[in-house]
Amino acid sequence: AHVQKLQAQRPGITVVNGYGPAESMGFTTTHLIDDTAGSQAAVPIGTPLMNKGAYVLDGRLNLCPPGVTGELYLAGEGLAHGYLGRPDLTASRFVPDPFGPAGGRLYRTGDLARFDAGGRLVYEGRADDQIKIRGFRVEPGETETALLTHPAVTQAVVTVHEERLAAYLVTAEGTSPDEIRRYVADRLPDHLVPTHVTVLDRLPLTPNG
C-alpha cells in the first residue's frame, strides 16, 4: 500500500527496496520495484549486491530449495567482526561459512526468508522473539531476565503494546511498578526499559501451561 501511494503521488519515481542489518554494513540485498508492485502479496527484498551473499538455510545449515522458507544468513564484504564485549553473542550469530573459502563467516540474521520463482528473496518474518522498538532491535527475554533479578519479582513476561515494551509481573506484596521500572532503568539501555509495568496476581496460562 505504501509503494502504491508513493507511485501515485510521484509518477515515474524509481523505488528500490533495500535490506540489510547493521551487522552487514548497510544494504545487502536490493529489489527495484516496478509498476506491478501493487499486485504482489509482498515486495521482495531482492538479490545480493556485488561482493555480498545471502543464503536461505535450514536448521542444519543446508540450503533450502527455492520456495521453501528458512533462516537468512549473510556473507561477503562488510560483515562486522562481532559484538564488543559479547563473545557469547558473537559466537551464536557469526558462524563458519560452509560454502566459502576457509576462514569465511556467515551472519545469522534471525530473519525468515525464501527465494521466489524469479530468484528474489522474500522476507517472511522473524525466526526468534526479536522485535523492533523505535528502530532498536529488542529481545524481550533480555528485559525479562533483568526484571527477574529484582528480589520481589517472581514471574515476568514482556511483550509489545502500542509499539512500546510492556511488562506483566507477579511480585511480592507492596512492591510498586514504578520502583521496578526504576530498577530496570538502572541496569538496561532506555529502549529495553518497559514503558508499561503491570502487576498481576498471577500470569494467565493456556490449558497446556
Residues 50 and 76 sit within 8 Å (Cβ to Cβ): no
165 within some domain? yes
In Å, how far from its chain's centre is CA 103? Answer: 26
Domain hosting 93: range is 2-127
pTM above 0.75, yes or no: no
In this structure, the answer to whether residues 123 and 190 fall within a common structural domain is: no
We report the CATH number of the domain holding residue 141 as 3.30.300.30
The pLDDT of 63-77, averaged and rounded, is 94
Chain segment 96-145, per-residue pLDDT in tens: 999 988 889 999 998 999 999 999 999 988 776 677 777 777 878 888 88
22 within some domain? yes
Report which of residues 34 and 93 the model is more confident about. 93
The pLDDT of 183-197, averaged and rounded, is 91
- Looking at the 3D structure of the chain, how many domains does it have? 2
- Check residue 102 and give its pLDDT: 87
Report which of residues 167 and 40 the model is more confident about. 167
164 within some domain? yes
Report which of residues 52 and 7 the model is more confident about. 52
In this structure, the answer to whether residues 119 and 142 fall within a common structural domain is: no
In this structure, the answer to whether residues 25 and 72 fall within a common structural domain is: yes
Report which of residues 128 and 23 the model is more confident about. 23
Q: How far is CA 61 from CA 70, 73, 203, in A?
A: 10, 9, 37
In this structure, the answer to whether residues 63 and 161 fall within a common structural domain is: no
Rounded Cα distance between 185 and 112, Å, is 32
3-state helix, strand, coil split of the chain in percent (to 5) is 20, 35, 45
Other CB atoms within a 10 A radius of the CB of residue 61 amount to: 17
